[in-house]
Chain A
Amino acid sequence: MDTRILTTDGLQALVDALHARGFEVMGPVVRDGAIAFGRVRALTDLPAGWGDEQEPGRYRLHRRDDPLLFAFAAGVQSAKPLFFPAQEVLWRVRAGDGEASPTVELTPVAVTAGEAPVAVLGVRSCDLAAIGIQDTVLLRRTYGDAAYALRREGTFVVAVTCSHPADTCFCVSMGTGPRPGAGPGPAAPYDLAMTEVSDELGHRFVVEVGSDRGADLLAELVARGVDAAEARPADRVAADRVVAEATARMGRRLDTDGLKELLYAAAESPVWDEVASRCLACGNCTQVCPTCFCTDVRDVTDLTGGLVERERVWDSCFDAEYSYIHGGSVRASTRSRYRQWLTHKLAAWEDQFGMSGCVGCGRCITWCPAAIDLTAEVAALRDEGGRA
């Protein structure tokens, strides 16, 4: 299937078709003063006419004077929680009577029971790359994550070109945007990718096909008489212009040249002490990062003690307990925890997974209460390295 043009009505038809195929459609919605993922039934659920402003430690929504549906940058969360929830039950155990009972019944929890497969609408390019990274981290391993595999398997992904990057964005540096598809590691996994265009030819979406399922869905729309014309050269030019303008407006940049070596060599740099003097070790950065995958487990017992649920929850390398072994934490200082986070993300990740762990979405910058900016920290380490 060729590149097609959808109008807003066409996009609504696409959402309807996804619902008809049994998908729960999740897309960006305005919630609590920010863009987050939520259920999308009608295009009116999308943040039409909303834009965002992001700076280190600051996030604001504002009204725009156009009807654009995707004219904002990365929201609070990426699509990560849709496949990798912040909290989930792995298995339950029911003891016959009391803790020493030999009749312990173990039940793995079927993760997808009652969950419809998800179609994600409007996954921005950085977050799309993050899905690719998570697929590598959680699936292409010695032991895969079964729950993630089940949730990911049936997912339909409609990506979107990032037309309005924020002051905190640097996907261009990381090779993950602004057009979906570019990205580290295996090909970014989308079914359809669209670029929202609004010019003298009208408000429309230039839709590219990334999979057979995507082609099939578009073909169904065409067969049903939905207006989905083949893209004209002017449409492609318009889409390219959106990409070029977004690229030019990228708020930040990160010099990735020799980054792994730089960070490995900088383990003892005073820059870590300086960051640590500002960092609160709150872990916000890890909570919003689309590639962070660390988890903790805990046993939740009901009052009678007969039912125990093993629950897996997101964890953060900034937490003191994270590295605790009998006798104390391996990383007791904030300095060592920030170093761990940044070095893992930008350096060790390459050794572990053959790619960077950062997609340049800028969330960790925006949501840091201390306005710590990893691009600035890397620059400081570079300066430091240059001086040494």
Chain B
Amino acid sequence: MVRMTIEQYLPHHPFLAGLDEDALALLARCATLVHFAPGEYLFREGEPADAFYVLRTGRVALETRLGTGSQVLDTADADDPGDGVVGWSWLVPPYRWTFDARAVSETSAVSFDGVCLRARCEEDPVLGYALMRRVVGVMSTRLHSARVRLLDLYGGRP
């Protein structure tokens, strides 16, 4: 059964590793398995942020639309420990996506329902805190990456 598969899978993902069985069981109840073909969008800027993705395989690009086309700002990779997740807008009002997310390669993920996740976190602050620490970890890596890249270290035209 799909649900069983998810429950078995969750502890193996680096993002969720270390959560206890009860917590994982609670989370599994919010989860479904999803697949995206290359080029397919996980979500688009402005849409309600109703999901959180833990990548199993594949690579997802976070993009923003410019007047002149799309610009990729970051990629998330299934095999990056602690980084293979996409989306935190489900956590913060107004719960809307601030970027597009597009599969670059064949991607499979566990998708968590945002409303369900928020409810579990409210009910169980210990779980909420554990989840929040993990999300903050990813955010801090991405923020660091964005800040350092702002320095344009490898240099453009002087």
| Chains A and B touch each other in the complex, with CB atoms below 8 Å apart | yes
Chain A, 312-333, contact with B by CB distance < 8 Å: what is the 0/1 string? 0000000000000011000000
Q: Which residues of B lie under 8 Å from residue A326 when comparing CB positions?
A: 155, 158
CB distance from B155 to the nearest CB of A (A): 7
A20 vs B155: C-alpha distance when bound (angstroms): 64
Interface bits A189-230 vs B (CB < 8 Å: 1, else 0) = 000000000000000000000000000000000000000000
B residues near A327, Cβ cutoff 8 Å: 155, 158
How many Å lie between the Cα of A361 and that of B158 in the bound state? Answer: 45
Give the interface size bracket for A toward B: under 10
Chain A contact residues, CB within 8 Å of chain B: 326-327
Kindly list chain A residues whose C-beta atoms are within 8 Å of the C-beta of B155.
326-327
* Minimum Cβ distance to chain B for residue A324 (Å): 13
Is chain B's interface secondary structure helix, strand, loop, or mixed overall?
Answer: loop
Smallest Cβ distance from A332 to chain B, in angstroms? 16
CA distance in complex: A327, B155 (Å): 9
* Contact bitstring B132-158, A, C-beta under 8 A = 1, else 0: 000000000000000000000001001
CB contacts (< 8 Å) of B158 on chain A: these are 326-327
Q: How far is the CA of A249 from the CA of B25 in the complex (A)?
A: 86
- Cα-based distance from A342 to B155 in the complex (angstroms): 33
A to B CB contacts below 8 Å, 4 in the list: A326-B155, A326-B158, A327-B155, A327-B158
Q: In the complex, how many angstroms separate the beta carbon of B140 from the nearest chain A beta carbon?
A: 26
CA A371 – CA B158 in complex, angstroms? 40
Chain B, 66-100, CB within 8 A of any chain A CB: none
Closest to B153 in A: A327
Distance of B19 from chain A, by nearest CB (Å)? 42
Which residue of the partner chain B has the closest CB to A326? B158
B154, chain A: closest CB distance, angstroms: 11
Give Cα distance in the complex from A269 to B136, angstroms.
35
Cα(A156)–Cα(B42), bound, Å:
84
Q: How far is the CA of A326 from the CA of B158 in the complex (A)?
A: 9
How distant is the Cα of A326 from the Cα of B153 in the complex, in angstroms? 12
Question: Nearest chain B CB to A371's CB is how many angstroms away?
Answer: 40
A152 vs chain B, min Cβ distance (A): 43
> Please, how many angstroms separate the alpha-carbon atoms of A326 and B155 in the complex?
10
A356 to B35, CA, bound (A): 69
Q: Quick one: CB contact mask for B2-34 with A, threshold 8 Å, 1 for yes? A: 000000000000000000000000000000000
Kindly state the separation between the CA atoms of A326 and B157 in the bound complex, as whole angstroms.
12
How far is it, in angstroms, between the C-alpha of A144 and the C-alpha of B135 when the chains are bound?
Answer: 58
**B151 to nearest A CB, angstroms?**
10
Closest chain A CB from B152 CB (angstroms)? 10
Q: How far is the CB of B108 from chain A (nearest CB, A)?
A: 43
Q: 4 closest Cβ contacts across the A-B interface? A: A326-B158, A327-B155, A327-B158, A326-B155
Closest chain-B Cβ to A336's Cβ sits at a distance in Å of 20
- State how many angstroms separate the Cβ of B123 from the closest Cβ of chain A: 48
How far apart are the CA atoms of A132 and B158 in the complex, in Å? Answer: 45
Q: How far is the CA of A310 from the CA of B107 in the complex (A)?
A: 61
CB proximity of B157 to chain A, nearest CB, Å: 12
CA of A327 to CA of B154, assembled, Å: 11
Measured in the bound complex, the distance between the Cα atoms of B155 and A33 in whole Å is 53
Within the assembled complex, what's the spacing in Å between the Cα atoms of A327 and B156?
11
Least Cβ–Cβ distance between A95 and chain B, in angstroms: 29
Q: Could you tell me the distance in whole angstroms from the C-beta of A328 to the nearest C-beta in chain B?
A: 11
